[in-house]
């Protein structure tokens, strides 16, 4: 019997428990809320205007609209 017969593939310094602890520590603290799609039609000129406004702020349309919604008072 070889002295290496008990070796397994993977990082020897990382046990399965250590890997689970690492993955747990990398999670976001707050549970992520379920995402839902919002889809509606606007004239091309309004879409262009929205994209320009968002770009001038260095944001995507999604980021811009999400921030706008977040600016509303909670009900």
Look up the pTM and report it. Answer: 0.56
Residue 54 near residue 63 (C-beta atoms within 8 A): yes
Please say whether the dihedral angle defined by the alpha carbons of residues 50, 55, 57 and 63, taken in this order, is positive or negative: positive
The half-sphere exposure of 56 on its side-chain side, counting CA atoms within 13 A, is 6
Domain positions in the chain are 44-75
Q: Tens place of pLDDT for every residue, the chain, 75 residues?
A: 556 666 666 666 667 777 777 777 777 676 678 999 999 999 999 999 999 999 999 999 999 999 999 999 988
């Amino acid at each position: 019997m070889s002295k290496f017969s008990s070796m397994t593939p993977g990082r020897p310094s990382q046990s399965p428990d250590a890997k689970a602890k690492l993955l747990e520590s990398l999670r976001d603290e707050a549970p992520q809320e379920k995402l839902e799609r919002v889809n509606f039609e606007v004239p091309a000129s309004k879409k262009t205007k929205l994209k320009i406004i968002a770009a001038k702020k260095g944001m995507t349309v999604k980021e811009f609209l999400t921030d706008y919604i977040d600016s509303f008072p909670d009900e």
